[in-house]
Structure 1
Amino acid sequence: MQTILTQAFSASLIRSFSRTAAAMTLGFALSTTAVPLAAQGLFSPAVTVDNAAITYYELNQRALFMGVLRTPGDPEVMARQELIKDRLKLAELAKVGISPSEEEITAGMTELASRANLSLNEFLTVLKQNGIDPETVRDFTKVGIGWREYIGARFLSRARPTEAEIDRAMGQAGSGGVQVLLSELIVPINEQNAQQVEALTDQVGQLTSFAAFSSAATQYSASDSRNNGGRLPWMNLTKLPPQLQPVVLALDPGEITEPLPLQGAVAMFQMRGVREVTGSRQRYSAIEYASYYIPGGRSAEALALGQEIANRIDTCDDLYGIAKDQDPAVLDRQSLVPAEIPQDIAIELAKLDPNETSLTLTRNQGQTLMLLMLCGRTAELGEGESRETVANALTQQRLESLSSSFIEQLRADALIIEK
């Protein structure tokens, strides 16, 4: 199984090398215009990554190469970004002593050429006609091969799916699309207010109208939904934590759940509606999220800081820059199967789209505010796939996600100077 999974990631990286290279043929020699070089000089540093320099010549070469491969985006911008990543990767590879052999590099270049239906010599000749030095392709391939080996060794055990996860991904966990319309009330709880919270939830449990529950949510709930009377939009049942799904489905419209214990809070939900939708329900094999911890709990200062950070970030990767030079424990990023996610986090994630944030949850008995961000959901694969194909796909998805997250962490910790 390990060999199969390693091969899956290997194939994935090769595809990433040459996603558009298949369009290349012997007659494709483009009139590629060289990227203008800076006046500082061909081999002057354009970027430094810690102690490693990236020259204007390397930027020009990579931009030409990416243009020939028709890589999406501005070649100059993408070349700079990718070479910075390469320097970060090379530094990490040097730490662990990984250096691909000449035979491995040649084999990788040959594989890249074959995806354009060219021999290696033909491939290099066409590139040379477009101003691209063979050493540029060699460096590109060397980093990719070394990084594949490193990521496989570091993360493969975490990325390997279990038999149960493969079953779920193959659609053996049932079907049928159901959406629910809920209202929520989430109340922070600690030793000091435990009795008051218990009294409040007892009263809320006796409510019989939507308006009364909405009023209670507006007054007492810590969730952002309080601004809408606790009312949530229609959501797929499968977005909710697995343990909460049967509880919600057992409710009739207007009924309210018993108080559900969360970490540092209790939650209650009122059913407003349920409906079936056409097609099979969407299931998820993994959900990736990030948690950034802010001292002060739900104090006005902590909430203001949390909102300020939320306004500054666009993706989970941006949190590495926020957490730079702080205790590593301040930021936690995970990719878990839904059943493994803590229930309070899973409830919040169910309400978020990718790259959206929540400031509802706390940790450390309410003393630490959690800025929660949904990075993304990995959809389960449909039926009709072989177990090997599904295992490979799940592994590939997870390794690529882990690799991207790790590179962003390296970037946040590095001193990068762009000229």
Structure 2
Amino acid sequence: MRNTMSFRASFLGLALVTLAALHIAAGPALAQSPFSPVRKVGDRVITAYDVDQRITFLELLNAGAADPREEALARLTEEAVQRDYAQRQGVRITSDELSEGMAEFASRANLETEAFLAELADGGVSQEAFMSFVEAGLMWRKIVGPQLGGTISVTTTDIQRARDVAAIRGTKRVLISEIFLPADPQYAEPVAQIMGLIEDASGAEEFSALAREYSLAGSRDAGGRLDWVALEQLPGPISGPMSNAVPGQIVGPIELSGAIAYFQLRAEDSTRDIPASQVKLTYKRLLLPGGRNPDTLARLAEIRARVQHCNALDPFAAGLPDGYITDNDALMQSIPQSDAVELARLDRFEISANTVENGNLVVLMLCARELELEQRPSNSQIENSLFNARLGARAQLKLDELIADTVIVDY
């Protein structure tokens, strides 16, 4: 094969989505090798030649199947079912459509159609097999778009969540537990004693027991245990010590606005690198007068019960002075430390209220956590990607149903 050939594994993805098969009609020649039948799918026959061609094609695409013959036979079976269904639906492909489809597939190898066919021939794949492959794939596209596309929707929330997923991937994830203590002067003596107990804690269970008994954070009922969080989401005073900590180690005390925090590293995990300077947060900040008095905590409980998205937090600022509720949009590293600690462990539309500022309880609600790139994908690009992924899944379900209704006989 020429060195200019550069088939990538991604071609297999297109092959499996566009889905088509080489079909050789049943006839007297089928009784003789290499055209002897190996499987009959409905009224269509898959021959040994078909299977050999598909195995070779998958090898050229660097598919790397564990069992190449089984993989080839499975794809050919799917494609035979698709062809039969397309025929029943009256779907046909014109010569111009076929030429365009072949050119589209070849372009993914940065080749013109003729050059691509030559590379296939050098590798042992016939032009007819490739043409049949593309034709059946185009038929299936014509079916799944009109029949299934109308059943799929992508919401604004879906797009926002897709951005969030990209943003929270980081170099390192940590599994931590937390304890928040009040920094109010009237609690100084008992808090000092509790701090001593925390610093002397010998393990995760003892730390969690202390969190259940003394922590102000909403995680106290879970023993202070939080889910995985990317290290890049944590502010410097926490991410620095955590990056050098070993499981079981306690980090703290860390003084925040109206609170003293301790964190224990329970486990760590490495993922791909995304600098903290590229993580942007959008969040609401509401100040509730009264600190942690019973009326304020009752108001907080009402907010947690009723607020499901960021805009719904605004009515709870009614009657409060200007500036008591703010919309914030900033890179993670630019957010004040007290807010950053709280926001780091929140998912979209979650609320945290563990700190006090000038006698006001600070209520934070995360609206978005996104990856800030110079060439960020547009909303329409993300929408198209999500739509295509859902359409592919729905099409596969449709195909599975068709296969289940088809008589398949192995020889």
TM-score class, shorter: 0.3 to 0.5
- Structure with the greater alpha carbon radius of gyration: 2
- Scaled by the length of structure 1, the TM-score of the pair is 0.47
Q: TM-score, normalised by structure 2?
A: 0.48
